[in-house]
């Protein structure tokens, strides 16, 4: 039962952090969501920092699976599966990227974890782009690959922040669709002729 309550606290914390932000979620609200007393929550997590630390552990475990290096024989569909997994991960832990400044200021470990994640993601995008270029799906030069990869990582992780700043309000699912379409449109000019048609069709679908 102890483990079950702890897990319920983490699930509720993640949901509330994603909805209201970590700074805007007091521990009493988490206790109310789990339907336990503040004292019971304090028993499992004496400080709010420990909840954030536990969620960072969960994020790292999930990110490790998403960021597994691809095989050199990948296709555009393999890349698309990776992108979907990435967007699901970012949506599931969106408070980490929405509250980035507050988190990194208040939790030094968050800065290290998210910094490593961002660097690894950019490198992984570059690996995918180079493999897909070698396979004839794209035409991206050696000097362009790291630049395009970085742009894709920025779009994947921070598009929602830009949209919120611009006054665009959308659900997590709508945000994921918009991000997917944006990434496809960035890649479309680099596509080979047949690939470009396929990527264009996908982009049109996600732009709906």
71 and 31 inside one domain? no
How far apart CA 136 and CA 9 sit, in angstroms, is: 48
Q: Which domain holds residue 92?
A: 52-206
How far apart CA 176 and CA 50 sit, in angstroms, is: 29
74 and 146 inside one domain? yes
What average pLDDT does the chain have? 89
Count of Cβ atoms closer than 10 Å to residue 149 Cβ: 21
Q: Tell me the whole-structure pTM to 2 decimals.
A: 0.87
165 and 185 inside one domain? yes
Structure tokens at 166: 């611009």
What are the DSSP calls for 9-33, one per residue? Answer: HHHHHHHHHHHH-STT--HHHHHHH
User: Taking CA 166 as the corner, what is the angle to CA 121 and CA 190, rounded to the nearest 5 degrees?
Assistant: 45
- Report the chain's C-alpha Rg in angstroms: 19
Highest mean pLDDT among 60-64, 159-163, 167-171: 60-64
Are residues 145 and 126 in contact, defined by beta-carbon separation less than 8 angstroms? yes
Q: What is the mean pLDDT of residues 163-188?
A: 81
63 and 27 inside one domain? no
57 and 33 inside one domain? no
Angle between helices 193-206 and 76-92 (to 10 degrees): 30
User: Taking CA 83 as the corner, what is the angle to CA 109 and CA 113, rounded to the nearest 5 degrees?
Assistant: 5
> Could you give the C-alpha distances from 77 to 3, 113, 128, in angstroms and in order?
39, 29, 11
Instruction: State the CATH number of the domain containing residue 89.
Output: 1.10.357.10
97 and 152 inside one domain? yes
> What is the tens place of the pLDDT at every residue in 11-64?
999 999 999 999 999 999 999 999 999 999 999 999 999 999 999 999 999 999
Structure tokens at 70: 């691809």
> Could you give the C-alpha distances from 150 to 15, 50, 124, 183, in angstroms and in order?
29, 32, 10, 11
5 and 71 inside one domain? no
Structure tokens at 63: 């990110």
122 and 26 inside one domain? no
Number of domains in the chain: 2
40 and 118 inside one domain? no
Q: To the nearest whole percent, how much of the chain has pLDDT over 90?
A: 62
The pLDDT of residue 115 is 94
> What is the tens place of the pLDDT at every residue in 92-123?
999 998 888 888 888 999 999 999 999 999 99
pLDDT bin (cut points 50, 70, 90) of residue 180 is confident
The pLDDT of residue 14 is 97
For residues 201 and 143, the model is more confident at 143
30 and 108 inside one domain? no
Instruction: State the CATH number of the domain containing residue 8.
Output: 1.10.10.60
| Region label for 192, one of left (φ > 0), alpha (ψ between -120 and 50) or beta (otherwise) | beta
101 and 180 inside one domain? yes
The pLDDT of residue 206 is 63
75 and 35 inside one domain? no
């Amino acid at each position: 039962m102890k483990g079950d309550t702890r897990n319920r606290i983490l699930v509720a914390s993640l949901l509330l952090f994603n909805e209201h932000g970590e700074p805007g979620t007091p521990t009493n609200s988490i206790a109310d969501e789990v339907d336990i007393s503040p004292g019971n929550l304090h028993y499992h997590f004496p400080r709010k920092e420990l909840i954030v630390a536990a969620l960072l552990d969960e994020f790292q475990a999930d990110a490790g699976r998403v960021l597994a290096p691809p095989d050199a024989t990948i296709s555009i569909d393999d890349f698309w599966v990776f992108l979907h997994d990435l967007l699901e991960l970012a949506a599931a832990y969106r408070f980490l990227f929405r509250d980035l400044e507050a988190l990194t200021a208040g939790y030094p470990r968050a800065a290290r974890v998210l910094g490593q994640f961002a660097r690894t993601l950019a490198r992984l995008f570059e690996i995918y782009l180079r493999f897909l270029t070698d396979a004839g799906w794209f035409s991206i030069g050696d000097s362009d690959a790291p630049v395009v990869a970085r742009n894709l990582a920025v779009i994947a992780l921070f598009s929602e922040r830009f949209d919120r700043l611009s006054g665009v309000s959308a659900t997590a699912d709508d945000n994921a669709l918009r991000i997917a379409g944006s990434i496809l449109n960035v890649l479309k000019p680099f596509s080979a002729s047949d690939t470009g048609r396929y990527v264009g069709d996908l982009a049109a679908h996600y732009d709906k």
